[in-house]
């Protein structure tokens, strides 16, 4: 990728994820409205709020799976999805965006494992096809990551033969295989029953302890209250409360946040 | 299992008496029909046996099989390209592909075969292929000579079937969950890579049953080529009974070989479904 000179592709602040004044419309409805968040390296941010608040949309904008209508998003200092020329944002090419996404891991609510590939090939798919890692090396890496998420011995089964919790852990390993600098987790436990979500929560906790920068849209109190550093509370496309996790749960400021905390006690 | 189970209770399950009564009625009717057929000697099995493996019939059946199979491969290739155009979102490609599907799916196959064999050489009597801006001529031939019954049949069947395959492949592509694309893109695959490595392999598994169905239809549709003088199974059969008048026996022979081809196609489909299951 060539770095066009006079653009503001680079961001001077030391935030790992920088979301600055982001607005997004679906039709005439603003699904994100002037969202501004700086996430320093190694911080774990829980994005909470009622359904339809824009949590998923916000995460999907960070790796440009969704487009934005105003504002800027930077990951590791680099503007995501666009380059700026004379104050106008121009969408990057397919290949440029693809390259940016290699540094941004994503885990989905419905796992989205590649159904036609065995577990090992799911994890090796990124390194092999995108990073052009030799097959043997990619499989070696995949084996190590599967072991890390506690799925040794499941390498050659297909995703549909695994429980939801196991599938989500494969999905985490698949995202890790690209050695991303940040990871976006979109309601990673919402499709799981409480017992299975525990194993996924502990896999995510391991990532957090490993110093990876995480943004997690979640309803799971074991994450938000358990080990998140910071909570963003969203309603109708706006971040209405942004506080350290401890303070959010002991002394929420916004009325709806107070209700939310009370209902999860 | 706990070992506490007592002696097994005898249970008489409900039977559908009406369905059984119907079944017996069907058997009786069939027996009467077969009896009547045997009495009136509708078919001379000796003649059937004489022709069933005769060289002309076998050659005709082979021609049908080759024509149908080649046309299927071309149709699948056409279908894939046209379906990708259709889902590309580019207005020109979308308009082109939907027009193609409309025209070739919307007119009878028989008319298309006759068109390629009879009308096309009238429209373009001479085929001349040269290197542009030079005087070098590579091909210069009368179209009537080039468009043989085989070529016209292959062209007609492939293009008509390609329209059906385009819709089948499009359905397969649309049936691949959007989350699969999201996941592939989030790993950093380009649009082309997502299509090639994730969407098309999964769509291919989804379309196997429908494609097997089309293969069977296509094998039977090769009989349309008899109308333009291609010596496939039906044409050979009618040619033979035109001279010896064993109409029933020869149609039985032809029907037998179509059934064999259909069984062959079904076996391939079943094998593919087992080898590449949709998960």
**What is the arithmetic mean of pLDDT over B26-38?**
94
Task: Using pLDDT thresholds of 50, 70 and 90, give the confidence band for residue B140.
Answer: confident
- Kindly indicate the confidence band of residue B3, based on its pLDDT and cuts at 50, 70 and 90: low
pLDDT at A149: 93
Question: Considering the domain B48-275, what is its CATH architecture?
Answer: Orthogonal Bundle (1.10)
Averaged confidence pLDDT in chain B: 94
Of B183, B189, B201, the CB nearest to A98: B189
Q: Which of B179, B181, B183 to mutate to test the interface with A (most CBs of A within 10 A)?
A: B183
Give the pLDDT of residue A3: 45
pLDDT at B143 (0 to 100): 87
CB contact under 8 A, A115 and B183: no
Phi, psi of B262 (to 5 degrees): -65, -40
From first to last of the 265 residues of chain A, give the pLDDT tens digit: 444 444 456 666 679 999 999 999 999 999 999 999 999 999 999 999 999 999 999 999 999 999 999 999 999 999 999 999 998 999 999 999 999 999 999 999 999 999 999 999 999 999 999 999 999 999 999 999 999 999 999 999 999 999 999 999 999 999 999 999 999 999 999 999 988 899 999 999 999 999 999 999 998 888 999 999 999 999 999 999 999 999 999 999 999 999 988 888 7
The span from the CA of A162 to the CA of A166, in Å, is 6
Interface of A with B (CB under 8 A): 63, 65, 94-95, 98-102, 104-106, 108, 110, 112-116, 125-126, 129-130, 158-160, 171, 174-175, 178
pLDDT in the model for residue A8: 52
pLDDT at A129: 95
Alpha-carbon span B158 to B68, nearest angstrom:
9
Name chain B contacts of A171, Cβ cutoff 8 Å.
183
Give the pLDDT band (50/70/90) at residue B267.
Answer: very high
CB contact under 8 A, A110 and B193: no
B58-69 pLDDT tens trace: 999 999 999 999
**Could you report the per-residue pLDDT of B77-111, keeping only the tens digit for each?**
999 999 999 999 999 999 999 999 999 999 999 99
Say whether A158 and B182 touch across the interface (CB within 8 A): no
Tell me: pLDDT of B162 over 80: yes
Flag whether residue B141 sits within 8 Å of chain A, measured between CB atoms. Answer: no
Tens-digit pLDDT profile for residues A172-222: 999 999 999 999 999 999 999 988 899 999 999 999 999 999 999 998 888
Quote the CA–CA distance of B99 and B83 in Å, as a whole number: 12
State how far the Cα of B87 lies from the Cα of B98, in Å rounded to an integer. Answer: 10
């Amino acid at each position: 990728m060539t770095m066009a000179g006079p653009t503001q592709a680079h961001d001077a602040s030391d935030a790992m994820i920088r979301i600055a004044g982001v607005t997004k419309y679906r039709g005439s409805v603003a699904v994100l409205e002037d969202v501004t968040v700086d996430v320093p390296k190694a911080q774990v941010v829980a994005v909470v709020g009622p359904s339809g608040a824009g949590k998923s949309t916000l995460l999907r904008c960070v790796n440009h799976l969704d487009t934005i209508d105003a504002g800027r998003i930077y990951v590791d200092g680099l503007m995501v999805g666009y380059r700026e020329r004379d104050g106008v944002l121009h969408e990057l090419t397919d290949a440029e965006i693809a390259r940016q996404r290699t540094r941004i891991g994503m885990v989905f609510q419905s796992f989205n494992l590649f159904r036609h590939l065995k577990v090992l090939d799911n994890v090796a798919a990124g390194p092999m096809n995108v990073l052009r890692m030799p097959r043997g090396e990619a499989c070696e890496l995949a084996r190590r990551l599967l072991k890390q998420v506690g799925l040794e011995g499941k390498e050659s089964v297909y995703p549909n033969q695994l429980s939801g919790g196991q599938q989500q852990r494969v999905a985490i390993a698949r995202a890790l295989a690209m050695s991303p600098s940040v990871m976006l987790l979109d309601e990673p436990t919402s499709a799981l029953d409480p017992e299975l979500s525990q194993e996924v929560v502990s896999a995510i906790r391991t990532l957090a302890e490993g110093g990876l920068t995480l943004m997690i849209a979640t309803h799971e109190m074991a994450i938000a209250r358990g080990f998140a550093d910071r909570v963003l509370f969203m309603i109708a496309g706006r971040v209405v409360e942004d506080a350290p996790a401890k303070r959010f749960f002991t002394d929420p400021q916004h009325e709806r946040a107070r209700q939310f905390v009370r209902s999860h006690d | 299992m706990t070992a506490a189970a007592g002696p097994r209770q005898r249970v008489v399950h409900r039977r559908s008496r009406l369905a059984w009564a119907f079944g017996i009625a069907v058997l009786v009717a069939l027996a009467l029909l077969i009896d009547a057929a045997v009495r009136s000697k509708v078919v001379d099995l000796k003649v059937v046996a004489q022709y069933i493996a005769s060289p002309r019939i076998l050659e005709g059946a082979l021609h049908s099989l080759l024509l149908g199979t080649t046309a299927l491969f071309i149709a699948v290739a056409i279908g894939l390209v046209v379906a990708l155009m259709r889902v590309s979102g580019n207005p020109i490609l979308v308009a082109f592909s939907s027009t193609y599907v409309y025209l070739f799916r919307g007119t009878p196959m028989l008319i298309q075969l006759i068109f390629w064999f009879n009308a096309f050489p009238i429209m373009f009597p001479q085929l001349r292929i040269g290197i542009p801006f030079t005087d070098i001529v590579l091909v210069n031939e009368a179209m009537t000579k080039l468009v043989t019954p085989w070529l016209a049949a292959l062209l007609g069947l492939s293009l008509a079937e390609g329209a059906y395959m385009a819709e089948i492949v499009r359905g397969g592509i649309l049936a691949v969950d959007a989350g699969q694309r999201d996941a592939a893109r989030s790993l950093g695959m380009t649009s082309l890579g997502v299509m090639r490595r994730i969407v098309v392999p999964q769509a291919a598994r989804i379309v196997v049953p429908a494609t097997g169905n089309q293969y069977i239809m296509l094998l039977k549709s090769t009989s349309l080529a008899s109308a333009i003088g291609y010596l496939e199974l039906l044409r050979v059969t009618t040619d033979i009974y035109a001279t010896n008048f064993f109409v029933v026996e020869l149609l039985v022979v032809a029907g037998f070989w179509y059934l064999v081809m259909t069984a062959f196609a079904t076996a391939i489909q079943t094998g593919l479904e087992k080898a590449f299951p949709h998960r």
